[in-house]
Every structure is written in C-alpha cells, then in structure tokens.
Structure 1
Amino acid sequence: MKLHHRMLRHFIAASVIVLTSSFLIFELVASDRAMSAYLRYIVQRADSSFLYDKYQNQSIAAHVMRALAAEQSEVSPEQRRAICEAFESANNTHGLNLTAHKYPGLRGTLQTASTDCDTIVEAAALLPAFDQAVEGNRHQDDYGSGLGMAEEKFHYYLDLNDRYVYFYEPVNVEYFAMNNWSFLQSGSIGIDRKDIEKVFTGRTVLSSIYQDQRTKQNVMSLLTPVYVAGQLKGIVLLDINKNNLRNIFYTHDRPLLWRFLNVTLTDTDSGATLSSTRAKIICSSMSVTSMTYRAAFVSRYPLIFFTLSRLRGKAFCSGF
C-alpha cells in the first residue's frame, strides 16, 4: 500500500511538472510570436513617424523659402530700434533673447557671430515666418495621431549666409552658445560632413547619430535645405532624441514581455547608439534568459531589443 501511495505521489509530481513545463513552453512560444509581430508593427510605426517628421521639416522649409522669396518691405525705424535695444552679448556670442525673453517679436533665441545688431535686423523681421511655420505644423488636426508624436521635437534654423542660428524654443546662452561657425568644415555641431553635403543636393537627409553640443546627449537630426534664387541659404533642422523614441517604441498595447525590454538604436556608419531604457524589473533569485530581437528601419539604423539577464532582487518580478 505504501508503494502504491509513493508511486501515486511521484505520478502527481511528474504530472504537475509536465503540465507546468508545457504551460511555460506554450507561453514562451506565444510570447516570442507576439514579440516578433509587435516588432514588425513598431518598425512600421517608426517609419511612419520619421516620414511624418520629414514632411513637417519640408513644410517648414518651404514656408521659410516663400517668405524669403516674397518682396520684403523695409524694416521700420521703430522695429529696427526695438531689435537693436533687445540685442545683447553673453558667453562670447550675440543675438536676441539670449538670457531672457527681451524681444517679443521672436518666440525663440537668435544667436549670431556678429557684434552689430544691424546685421540681424532683416533676419529678426523674417524669422516670425519660421515661428508661424513650426506652430502651424504643430497645430494640424492630424498632428500626433497614431505616429508616436505626443511630444514636440526641437526645431531650429541655421543660416549659412548670414551666420546665425535661430532656435524655436528659447535657449539660455549660459548653457549653450554657438561659438564655432565653421561647422561645415569641422563638423563641430556633431553632424557628419557627408550628411551636410547631402543637403546640397536638395534632399532632406537624416544625419548620423551624434552628441548634441546643446544637451550633451546623443541625437540624430533631419536636415532640410532652404534655397533663395537657386542658391543654398540655410538648413532647417529637427532633432530626435531617446525620449522621442520612447513614444514610438513603448505603446500602451505592447505585449507583456515588452515591458521587460530596453531598446537600442545603432548607427551602422558611426557605431553610435540611442538607448531608450524603460525596463524596470525586480525578480526573485532567478535568471532571466537574455533575448535579442533585431530589425532595421530608416536604412542604416538597426533596432536591438533585449532583456537584462541574471537579475536578482526581492520576492517578485515586475516590469513597467
């Protein structure tokens, strides 16, 4: 009788192990399939988002080109006086709204290499067109609809002829000043020379991943040329950072396993990366198998998704 009971206990234990293992295998296979399908979905989502960003940048550049091509009325003495009164110098640079919003005619900050306010009077009178273009694109009815664009990205304009940069958002010059204006030759703003050269073909290009001098973080930029009378005058730029990528890659309807993943976007040309970290995991004394998924979008940027391995902690495992 004891032998019978012992065999029954072994049979029950073996059945539990088989059933549990079968369930775990089923869940792993299902999760892997869900992950693969979701990966394809967010790659398409990223493609759509970047295409929308490109469209917006081109729309802003076109608006600026129309303003430049239009017959410009002479700047009034009153407006000239207001611009020159607001003109200031700080941190070895010059311009408008460098440390505070002293010139209400512009929403953002203008930095220039020139010490003479007369050299930027016409620019200050023109740049409201850039403000209007950015604002208009941000207030379109379809803005942010299903494209991972809940946030507003950083827009700015580099004028190559008059040597100034205008940021749509105010930038305190104490934290960042454009002091090196030979960026086309030296790549001092971190954008690869060949990416700049592509602008001269008239196409919008996506830069390599580089370290932004303003934020000291890795970003990539969309560059759209601005022409006047067939000659390149400036570049409209849009920066994309890791926070922007989070809104693309981490959706509310993501699979459970996705909550335990970090995302790394790698530039195959430069080797630089943008890492979007969202995994926050606490596990009991166990080992989480390392898993890697790869896909590519926007030509040279492969995505790498992975979980952390050998996590140790408290008595439960969770992720956000």
Structure 2
Amino acid sequence: MSGPAIRLTGLRKSFGVVNAVDGVDLEIADGEFFSMLGPSGSGKTTVLRLIAGFESPTAGTVELAGVDVTRRPPYERDVNTVFQDYALFPHMSVLDNVAYGLRVRGTGRRERHERAEEALRSVRLEGYGARRPAQLSGGQRQRVALARALVNRPKVLLLDEPLGALDLKLREEMQVELKALQRQVGITFVFVTHDQEEALTMSDRVAVFSGGRVEQVAAPAELYERPASPFVAGFVGTSNQFAGADVIGRSGTFSLRPEKIRLDGDGDCAAAGKVAEVVYAGAFTRLVVDLDAGPRMVVLLTSAPGLPALRGQAVRLTWSSSDLIALD
C-alpha cells in the first residue's frame, strides 16, 4: 500500500442548502478498526456512503490505499458494505447468499462454494449453508451478511450500524465477535454507530461527528478521559458540565465523570447538595444531586442497600481536581 487504507480530504456533501458533510479530513490506517460515532443527522452514514461510492461528494477527495477513487463507481472500489437490514436474499440458501458476489464476478462454481464455506467458517456458521435466511436467528443472519462481505476479500469493510436491530445481550456478544473477527482477517473495518459504548468497546480509534464535522479523533480511552469539546464530553458517556466559578471557585467550564465523584470521601474538591433522585441500575446506582451552588450533578456508585434512603437527604460530594476536564 502506498498510503493509509482510507484518506478523506476536504470532503463535503450538500443536499440543497443542507451540508450533510462539511469539510471532513480523516486518515484510517490499514488493518484498523475505526468507528464513526455520532447522533442521527451528524453526517457519519453519509461519509460511509461517500467512501463506498454510493454518493458523490460536492467537494473533496476519497483515496483508497493511496489511489484517488472519488469519481469511481462502487464496483471499482475494493470495499464491501454490511447494512443494518442485512439485505439477504430470502429465496437463496445461506451458502448461495454468501457466494453471490463471487457469482456476479464470474468465479467458477467450485471455487465460489469453497470460498463461501471458508467465509462461513470464519464467522462460526459451518454447517448452516443449506438453510434459508428465515431459518436463522437475528445474530446468525448478521454473521451471514458479514461472511458475504468477507468472501470477496476486500481491503476495507464498511459496516453501517449492523448491530442496531439486535437485542442488548446479542448485541454485546456480537461486539466481541466482530472485534475478534477483525483481528482474525486483518482487514480495515469502518464501523458507523450512534452507540458510544459500542464504539468504545470495539474500536482502535473513534471519530466523533456533529453537524457534518469531526469533533475529535482519538483512541477510546483518550476520547472518554480527555474529550476535546463540550459536545464530545456530553455525547461520549455521562458528563457533569458546570461553570467552575459556581462550584470550585475557578474560572472556566469543566467536565467531571459521575464515577469520579464520591460521597464524603477523599479529594481536594467538595460541594454540598441534596439528593433529588436515586436510580437503581443493577450493579450501579445513579444519584441525581442538586448542588447548593446551583448545578445538578449525577453520581455513579456501586449499588448498596442504603443508597435508596438517600433520596431527599443532604450530602457532601468530593472528587480530585485531577479528574476535572477543562472544556474552554
């Protein structure tokens, strides 16, 4: 390769007066699991479609492995796309679904069946080739769609919210499987999601989108611990944002993660308040605290029997100044 797997330069896409993508510059390394994270309408799916060639940019360029493919049609780009609805052919067997792309390319019957079987083994569906999609669970259909995309051995695999239709437990299982599969096949994955936990769980790096622009590109830990803007701090996980002059006597705007706060514990920062609500969430309990200084804080604690009794009680919150994130 003569460059990164994907390079986007000055990428713009307008629909009438709406700028869906507004000047995006990105480089995605070969073999990287890269996620594009953002709310609906932030431009992430449009960027994915521009990489795939399903949309043409208003301005800017798309390069794959150092080659400008901006004006090339989708079938001339070495990428495959997995969509949320999987788009499997209901009248075909699983094996024929997986082999379909090879059939279109004119690959011989024996070779395409061998490669389709190999792709099914890679997603742990060996022995399912004779079934129809309707005979599979949602998670199995998702893996068939992955196998169909992988069978062509693309340099880049584009995934457009492929786990969005799955229930929570299956989605969590598939997150682990997807990352393991990406390591196994060693190709570049570009994953679009609005679920921040999904992005943090699987990705080598994450780009956070807002209003058609990239707010920050970073590894998951850096993105969570050192957000570059108030939007990133609020969108990636839960964040308490407040004016420092009101709470700690320092100028500026700060962010503080709920799990960094303790009840009357150690720490060089403190604030008094009243518990407005106690929300039990299994292993953890969230306290919503109205500070005497004005702002509302969310505190995340390990669940314990006495926590529900704190509703309506005065409390003292403490934290370390090193856990504060300056957002100015």
Q: TM-score range by the shorter chain?
A: under 0.3
More helix by percentage: 1
More strand by percentage: 2
TM-score (normalizing by structure 1): 0.25
TM-score (normalizing by structure 2): 0.25
